[in-house]
């Protein structure tokens, strides 16, 4: 059976775009006052920096160090990213873009007395309604160890739920003497090795960002960690904020919970970053928004106005990490304002 026969389906082609990235969220910092813990954490970051550039260093071990670093810096995003890479991404959580690939497919079929095994087919060979069921990009959400094992093979063949549904849909429109007996993905080993390599490269870039502006013996702030993760990996796992009438969801993949006081603390951390970068106008804008939050019943107008000013200034800051942190705080403040948190 030729792929051209499959194109006789109904409807126009509809491409499947990539899913949107996680929004950035509220940044806070938690630095343990115990000097011994500070030393342990700074040593952890230093050790991670030294090991991450060693190609012989196992990637799972480096990600487990990120779990510890996320716990010490208070970055839920870093902990979740490392955990998802190690254990796999749940169905309701978007994986980073580097885990989505264009994968070829193999189709086996029977047409009368003719048997065809593992004939290459493309997503574009399917009718439009089948393309709506099967994503154009295959997202591999399994644990890193699973991908590393598959990458050792010349190619890896496997089926998915959407492919099984597509097989049933195609058989329903084929003549009685024709039948598709199997439909599977065929992913070359080098493609899988490329995913592993991109995870390692993202980790190297992340650690480089965290150590570039952090003096030895000091912790990067949670804002800096979350901003670097968003820039280098493209995901952010953010928070729910409690309003008087109930929780207000901010973005996707939210896990941690906080209050208006958390926003105030995030602004305080952001001010430290802005002051360090010499961003005087940004520091003043942070102070204005902070002052609006100190009212007994903060009003929506001043908070929204302050967030708007921060958003405008974020485009002109010199540091990409600082700009990302500002944007995250702005999105949080805006969501709270429109979510009924303020009077």
Per-residue confidence at 43, pLDDT binned at 50, 70, 90? confident
Question: 11 to each of 129, 130, 173, how far by Cα in Å?
Answer: 7, 10, 14
Task: Give the residue, 286 or 46, on which the prediction is more confident.
Answer: 286
Lowest mean pLDDT among 119-128, 233-242, 287-296: 233-242
- Same domain, yes or no, for 12 and 103? yes
Boundary of a domain, candidates 195, 212, 241 = 195
- Same domain, yes or no, for 191 and 276? no
Task: Give the residue, 300 or 195, on which the prediction is more confident.
Answer: 195
Residue 104 counted as domain residue: yes
132 contacts: CB under 8 Å, gap ≥ 6: 14
Share of the chain above pLDDT 90, in %: 31
pLDDT in tens, 146-159: 999 999 988 888 88
Lowest mean pLDDT among 127-131, 135-139, 148-152, 318-322: 318-322
333 contacts: CB under 8 Å, gap ≥ 6: 263, 289, 303, 304, 306, 307, 310
Share of the chain above pLDDT 70, in %: 78
Residue 227 counted as domain residue: no
In the chain, alpha helices (H): 3-6, 35-52, 59-73, 76-87, 128-131, 144-150, 161-173, 189-212, 222-232, 260-276, 280-293, 300-314, 320-338
Structure tokens at 297: 């019943």
Q: What is the pLDDT of residue 340?
A: 67
**DSSP β-bridge partners for residue 116:** 109
- Same domain, yes or no, for 189 and 298? no
Structure tokens at 140: 């591999």
Most confident residue range from 131-140, 152-161, 191-200, 232-241: 191-200
Angle between helices 222-232 and 76-87 (to 10 degrees): 40
Question: How many residues are there in the chain?
Answer: 343
Which range marks the domain in which residue 151 is found? Answer: 3-18+97-195
pLDDT in tens, 153-183: 888 888 888 899 999 999 999 998 899 999 9
Boundary of a domain, candidates 171, 195, 219 = 195
Residue 89 has pLDDT above 50, yes or no: yes
Distance of CA 165 to the CA centre of its chain: 28
Residue 123 counted as domain residue: yes
C-alpha to C-alpha distance for 1 and 15, rounded to whole angstroms: 24
Residue 224 counted as domain residue: no
Strand ranges across the sheet with 114-121: 114-121, 104-111, 178-188, 155-158
């Amino acid at each position: 059976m030729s792929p051209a026969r499959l194109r006789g389906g109904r409807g126009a082609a509809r491409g499947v775009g990539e899913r949107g990235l996680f929004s950035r969220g509220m940044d806070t910092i938690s630095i343990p006052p115990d000097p011994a813990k500070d030393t342990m954490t700074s040593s952890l970051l230093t050790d991670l920096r030294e090991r991450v550039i060693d190609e012989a260093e196992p990637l799972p071990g480096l990600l487990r160090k990120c779990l510890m670093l996320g716990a010490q810096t208070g970055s839920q995003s870093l902990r979740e990213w490392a955990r998802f890479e190690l254990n796999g991404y749940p169905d309701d959580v978007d994986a980073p873009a580097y885990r989505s690939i264009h994968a070829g497919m193999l189709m086996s079929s029977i047409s009368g007395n003719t048997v065809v095994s593992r004939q290459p087919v493309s997503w574009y060979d399917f009718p439009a309604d089948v393309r709506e069921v099967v994503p154009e990009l295959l997202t591999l959400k399994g644990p890193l160890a699973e991908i590393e094992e598959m990458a050792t093979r010349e190619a890896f063949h496997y089926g998915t739920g959407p492919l099984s549904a597509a097989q049933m849909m195609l058989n329903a429109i084929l003549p009685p003497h024709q039948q598709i007996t199997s439909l599977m993905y065929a992913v070359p080993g080098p493609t899988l090795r490329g995913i592993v390599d991109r995870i390692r490269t993202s980790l190297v870039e992340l650690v480089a960002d965290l150590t570039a502006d952090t003096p030895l013996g000091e912790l990067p702030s949670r804002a800096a960690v979350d901003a670097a993760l968003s820039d280098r990996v493209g995901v952010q796992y953010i928070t729910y904020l409690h309003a008087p009438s109930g929780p207000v969801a901010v973005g996707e993949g939210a896990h941690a919970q906080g209050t208006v006081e958390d926003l105030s603390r995030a602004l305080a951390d952001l001010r430290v970053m802005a002051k360090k970068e010499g961003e005087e106008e940004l520091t003043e804008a942070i102070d204005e928004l902070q002052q609006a939050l100190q009212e007994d019943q903060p009003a929506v107008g001043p908070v929204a106005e302050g967030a708007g000013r921060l958003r405008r200034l974020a485009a002109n800051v010199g540091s990409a990490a600082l700009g990302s942190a500002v944007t995250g705080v702005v999105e949080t403040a805006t969501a709270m304002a429109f979510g009924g948190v303020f009077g």
